[in-house]
Amino acid sequence: MIRYTVIRLIQGVITVWFIATATFFAMHAVPGDPLMNDKAISEEIRRNLEAQYGLDKPLPVQYVIYIGNMLKGDFGISFAQENRSVNDIIREHFPVSAILGILAITFAGLGGILFGALTARYRNKMPDIVIMFLVILGISVPSFVFAALGQFALVNLNAFFGTSILPVAGWGTLSHMIAPSLVLGLGTMAFLTRLMRSSMLEIVSSDYVRTARSKGLPTTRIFLRHELRNAILPVVTVLGPSIAAITTGGFVVELVFAIPGLGRYFVQAVQQLDYTVIMGTTVFYGAFLVFMVIVVDLLYGLIDPRVRLE
């Protein structure tokens, strides 16, 4: 177990280094540089600026310097936003994205397990048919359409009650978080419901459930101890990739609901070719995702003793 964890962590570090390297060179291959966004500047000023930011050095040297700083935990200073360090930007805006993501994944996970179990239980009956129809809809409708429709619904809801039940956009209080996280989690929830349903159907017809039934155990006990616990496993496996999908999918929701998350900064930074912010956010997101996948894999070993982590 410990050996496995260590190996996974080492692999994770290599992956993050790979992400950093790929991003660094891809970004520098883009024509232009961050200084081109400003008004025309004289050759001299430009040279001074380049020297200040270290852009005058050859690319491999810049790379080594950057990786060195990164290892010290310093992502540098933003080009576009004066005197703002990338660490500050991440520290300030990542929590917003993270809260949104956590709420969304909680909602998606709980909803997916609940609805999946429900549809399996009422297989081919009304609840199953209705939920599965909604699930197919949830998988087929892009998140930005959900976001737009969600906002549309909120506007009408607020207009109907004459007061602001839930805010349409913005960030700050808990009531701001409900609508965007619901929207963000919807697609994943639909996917998880489907997964949970097929996994549940497989379990329900398994031998040990039949045994438990013939022993005369109460239905709720069979459901909780035998069926649910086993059926949840595949859902846990895809939670890692789902977290990735939800955090990056957060861009759109942040855009539509005007939420000051990290995703918006990334899109903005790419447009301005703000080298340090692009690097910082990509490496940070990459490390976060790699770490989440490792955590989920380790969790999997804890939940299912049959899985030997090697």
Q: Provide the binding-site residues for other proteins, judged by CB under 8 A.
A: 14-15, 18-19, 22-23, 26-27, 29-31, 136-137, 139-145, 148, 151-152, 155, 197-198, 201-202, 244, 248-249, 251-252, 255-256, 266-267, 270-271, 273, 278, 281-282, 285-286, 289-290
Residue closer to other proteins by CB (options 140, 175) is 140
Find the Cα–Cα–Cα–Cα dihedral 15, 22, 278, 260, rounded to 10°: -40
- Which token pair is 8? 């996974």
Angle between helices 275-303 and 59-71 (to 10 degrees): 50
**In the 8-state DSSP scheme, what is residue 123?**
T
Residue closer to other proteins by CB (options 30, 64) is 30
What is the smallest separation between the CB atom of 223 and other proteins, expressed in angstroms?
A: 18
What is the smallest separation between the CB atom of 168 and other proteins, expressed in angstroms?
A: 10
Residue closer to other proteins by CB (options 109, 286) is 286
What is the smallest separation between the CB atom of 47 and other proteins, expressed in angstroms?
A: 25
What is the smallest separation between the CB atom of 178 and other proteins, expressed in angstroms?
A: 20
Angle between helices 86-121 and 126-140 (to 10 degrees): 150
Residue 216 Rama label (left phi>0; alpha psi -120 to 50; beta): left
Residue closer to other proteins by CB (options 5, 217) is 5
Calpha distance 229→36 (Å, rounded): 57
> DSSP states of 253-304 as a string?
HHHHTT---HHHHHHHHHHHT-HHHHHHHHHHHHHHHHHHHHHHHHHHHHH-
What is the smallest separation between the CB atom of 237 and other proteins, expressed in angstroms?
A: 15
Residue closer to other proteins by CB (options 217, 260) is 260
